[in-house]
Amino acid sequence: MSSPQDQEVSELSVPAPWGEIKGKIWGPDDGYPVLCLHGWADNCASFDCLVPLLPKECRYVATDLVGHGLSSHRAPGVSYLLSDYVADVCRVVEDLQWTKFSIIGHSMGGFIAGMFGALYPEMVDVLVLLDSYGFVITRPDDLSKLMRQGIDEMMKFNTFNSRVYTFETAQERLLAANPTLSERSVHTLLKRGLTQVEGGFVFSRDLRVNFKHIHRFSLEVCLELQSKIQASTLIILADNGFGMPSKQQEASELLQAFKDRNHAVVSVPGDHHVHLNDPEVVAPLVTDFLRSKVISQQLPA
C-alpha cells in the first residue's frame, strides 16, 4: 500500500505581477474544487498527509502562500498583509476558473479563509478551519503597539540574505521553532521549505513573513465580518493547539458566535500541526463534513 506522500500530484503555477504562485494539485480534473491554505511559515506540503485521506471525488489545490515554499516573494519594500493574501486567493481561483469551492485553512491559512469567506461569501460552500478560528483578533489597547512594531520591522529590514544551513541543521532549526512537529512532518515541510545554494541550503520563505501583521481587527470587527460568512463552517481545534478558547476570552466569544449560527466547533487530541502529524485524527471529520455539505449535493439524482 502506498503512503500518502507517494500519491500522484501535479504542480500548480499561477502568474502574478511579481512572479508566480506555486502549489500542488490532487484529484480528478472534474472533481469538486477544494482550496487548501497552509499556516504561517509552512508551505503547501502541510497537506501532503491529509489530502490523500480525504474524499477522492474532490480536486484539491494547495498553494504555497506568497513568500512561502516555492512561490515568489513580494517586491522589495512591500509588507505581507492579510488583505493581499486574500487577493492572492482571488488570483488563484480566477486562474483555475473556479466560481464555487470549499476552503481548508490551517492556522494563518484559516485566517485567510475566514476573511475570503466574509468578503466573497457567494463563492464559498464550506470552510474547514484547522486550529484556527477564522480571524485575527487584537485587543484595542494593543492595536497601536503591534501596528507600529510591524512598520518599524519593515523599515529596518534592508537585506534579503539568508543564513546557509546543512540539511541537518535546517531540520534542527525548524524543529526548534516548531517543537511539536514530528520527524516525518519536518521532512515533509522541508521538501518545499528549503532552496539549495552554494554551500548548503537556505529556507525558501521570505524573512519578511516574520514581521508583525500591520492590519489588525478588534473583536467587534471580527464578529461583523464573521456574520457575512454564508459557508457551512467546521472548526477543528487541537486540545494542545494555540487556538484553544481558554487562552483568550475574545476567541471564546468568536467561537460562540460560530456556534450560534449553527456552525460546528469540535476539539481533537493533538497539537497545532495535528493535521500533519496525525492526519488520521482529522481526516474523518473533514471527510464527513465535505460529504454531507457539498459532495452529496453534487451527485446526480
Report d(CA 183, CA 185) in Å as an integer: 5
Quote the pLDDT of residue 162. Answer: 74
Name which of 33, 53, 4 is nearest 284 in CA terms: 53
Q: What is the pLDDT of residue 300?
A: 58
Q: Which residue has the cell 500522484?
A: 8
Averages of pLDDT over each 10 residues, the chain, 301 residues: 57 97 97 97 97 97 98 92 96 98 97 98 98 90 90 81 90 93 96 95 93 88 96 96 64 92 95 97 98 82 48
The span from the CA of 295 to the CA of 301, in Å, is 13
What is the predicted pLDDT for the residue at 7? 58
On whether the CB atoms of residues 147 and 266 are closer than 8 A, the answer is: no
Give the model's pLDDT for residue 161. 63
Q: Is residue 1 part of a domain?
A: no
Structural domain count, the chain: 1
Number of H helices and E strands in the chain, helices first, is 10, 10
Residue 97's identity, in one-letter code, is: Q
Question: Which residue from 49, 63, 39 is spatially nearest to 136, judged by alpha carbons?
Answer: 39
Is 46 among the residues known to form the active site? no
Phi-psi category of 22—alpha, beta or left, where left has phi over 0 and alpha has psi -120 to 50? Answer: beta
Residue 123 contacts residue 100 (beta carbons within 8 Å): yes
* Amino acid 186: pLDDT: 96
Give Cα 9 distance to the centre of its chain.
Answer: 19
- Domain contains 3: no
User: Does the residue 210 lie in any domain?
Assistant: yes
Position 23 scores a pLDDT of: 98
- Provide the domain limits for residue 172: 8-298
Does residue 2 lie in a domain region? Answer: no
71, 79, 102, 107: the active-site residue: 107
The values of phi and psi at residue 58, to 5°, are: -100, 155
pTM exceeding the 0.85 threshold for the entire prediction: yes
Which alpha helices (DSSP H) does 134-248 contain, by range?
Answer: 143-156, 167-177, 183-193, 219-226
| pLDDT of the residue at 159 | 64
Distance, CA of 270 to chain centre: 18
CATH number at residue 134: 3.40.50.1820
